[in-house]
């Protein structure tokens, strides 16, 4: 399986630390807003169910969690599969959520193609991803070569690259949102002290945020029905004409 095992298995533990908890709260709010009006039957999250704040407010009838590591199986996440070959039929899932999943994959574009395959027409894909062009991306570069832990040992993919992949897969971008404008500090005291940056961040460009949310929809291929061109041969036309004339006489 083409995954960064260290990143995948360490990320849930990082979300229990002060910085991870602060981020999870804002991500939950953003996901609740993005998913509030999306109805359907099956929502799938590819990633650990420890990050269940992403689907917590989903109105889909059933939420399914598929971890990327066998060690992350739980009572709520019984399905374990390969993100490059998802265990669902084509056009069978209403919503797929990828909470920082792409950062742990060696072939994220292939995973997106597989996600689009299993989505129903007009199905949705929700992506949370770290912003490589922010203070978070700089922090990751400064840790390069050191003993890195999640999330800094993941591969941060640019939002424009992901948008380009989605458009190539015939998806339309419905919503983008910037999340978390504070620097990635480990001190809960400093995170609380800088909370005012979140309100200021709404006036800043997307590149200033530590995390991006992308909501996309799978397009429907519209088919134009073609009416059959019925043809009557000349002999049949004459016979039909003669019959009609005889009946009139």
Domain with 233 in it: 5-248
Q: Which residue has the higher pLDDT, 233 or 98?
A: 98
Over residues 192-244, the pLDDT tens digits come to 999 999 988 777 766 789 999 999 999 986 555 555 555 545 555 556 566 55
Predicted local confidence at residue 201, as pLDDT: 77
pLDDT at residue 126 is higher than 60: yes
User: What is the per-residue pLDDT for 13?
Assistant: 94
Exposed (0-12), middle (13-18) or buried (19+): which is 35, by Cβ within 10 Å?
buried
pLDDT of residue 77: 78
Per-residue confidence (pLDDT) for residue 145, from 0 to 100: 58
Computed over every residue of the chain, the mean pLDDT equals: 87
Q: How many CA atoms lie within 13 A of 37 on its CB side?
A: 5
CATH of the domain at 66: 3.40.50.150
34 touches 126 (CB < 8 A): yes
Q: What is the pLDDT of residue 231?
A: 52
* pLDDT band (50, 70, 90) for residue 125: very high
pLDDT average, residue stretch 19-31: 96
93 confidence band (pLDDT: 50, 70, 90): very high
Q: What angle do CA 155, 156, 158 make, to 5 degrees?
A: 135
Q: Write the DSSP symbol of residue 36.
A: T
Share of the chain above pLDDT 90, in %: 68
Separation CA 47–CA 245 (nearest Å): 77
- Judge contact between 214 and 165, C-beta under 8 A: no
At 202 the pLDDT is: 72
List pLDDT tens digits, range 140-196. 888 765 657 899 999 999 999 999 999 999 999 999 999 999 999 999 999 999 999
Q: Residue 239 has what pLDDT? A: 61
pLDDT at 205: 65
* Spatial CB neighbours of 110, under 8 Å, sequence gap ≥ 6: 2, 84
Read off the pLDDT band of 248 (50, 70, 90).
very low
Average pLDDT over residues 58-78: 86
Residue 67's alpha-carbon distances to 45, 85, 218, in angstroms, are: 8, 13, 23
Q: How many domains does the chain have?
A: 1
Q: Which of 52, 165, 146 is nearest to 108 (CA)?
A: 165
Position 141 scores a pLDDT of 86
């Amino acid at each position: 399986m083409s995954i960064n095992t260290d990143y995948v298995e360490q990320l849930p533990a990082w979300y229990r630390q002060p910085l991870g908890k602060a981020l999870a709260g804002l991500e939950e709010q953003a996901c609740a807003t993005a998913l509030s009006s999306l109805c359907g039957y099956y929502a799938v999250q590819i990633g650990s169910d420890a990050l269940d704040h992403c689907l917590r407010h989903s109105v889909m009838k059933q939420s399914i969690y598929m971890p990327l590591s066998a060690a992350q199986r739980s009572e709520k996440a019984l399905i374990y599969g390969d993100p490059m070959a998802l265990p669902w039929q084509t056009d069978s899932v209403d919503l797929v959520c990828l909470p920082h999943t792409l950062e742990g994959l060696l072939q994220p574009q292939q995973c997106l193609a597989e996600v689009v395959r299993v989505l129903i027409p007009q199905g949705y894909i929700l992506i949370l991803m770290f912003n490589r062009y922010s203070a978070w991306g700089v922090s990751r570069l400064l840790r390069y070569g050191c003993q890195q832990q999640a999330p800094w040992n993941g591969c941060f993919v640019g939002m424009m690259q992901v948008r380009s992949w989605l458009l190539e897969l015939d998806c339309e971008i419905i919503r983008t949102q910037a999340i978390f404008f504070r620097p990635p500090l480990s001190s809960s005291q400093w995170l609380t002290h800088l909370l005012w940056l979140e309100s200021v961040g709404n006036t800043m460009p997307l590149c200033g945020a530590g995390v991006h949310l992308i909501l996309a929809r799978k397009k429907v291929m519209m088919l134009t029905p073609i009416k059959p061109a019925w043809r009557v041969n000349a002999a049949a036309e004459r016979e039909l004409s003669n019959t009609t004339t005889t009946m009139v006489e």
